Amino acid sequence: MCSDKYEDEKSYTDDCGVDYSNKNRLLWGSLSITTYNVEDGTKVVSANAFATRGSFNSSLHSLLISDSVVAIGTNSFSYSRYLRSIILSKNLIYIGALAYCDCFCLLYL
């Protein structure tokens, strides 16, 4: 459910450079945005979605996760060192291991 993009999965990129699947999953987040609101209707933030992927150059400072999100994948925000606040979905039922590894952020419900 929270894995990276599946081979047969169609996707699109929003105006901020964030990739979504047509199956209601946020796949990859742009590391150049500073503030982001996850689209309403999104069910899953995929594994490694906003992780820095070997680069410590993420500019993301704050994130609002839509209340439609029920799952956040493993390492989703790992090493996003500038990330300071995340407002979580009220409907979360799963948060993967190390989702916030090495982040210095406050989590809000």
Across the chain, mean pLDDT equals 84
Domain count across the chain: 1
Indicate the SS3 state at residue 105. coil
Burial class (CB in 10 A: 0-12, 13-18, 19+), 7: exposed
Indicate the SS3 state at residue 108. strand
pLDDT of 106: 66
The position carrying tokens 């989590």 is: 107
Tens of pLDDT, residues 41-68? 999 999 988 887 665 667 888 999 999 9
pLDDT of 89: 95
H or E element in which residue 45 lies: strand 44-45
Alpha-carbon distance values, 36 to 1, 9, 59, 84, 86 (Å): 22, 23, 11, 12, 10
Asked if 16 and 30 touch (Cβ cutoff 8 Å), the reply is yes
Question: Domain residues for 88?
Answer: 1-109
CATH at residue 7? 3.80.10.10
State which residues of the chain have pLDDT below 70.
1-9, 53-57, 104, 106, 108-109
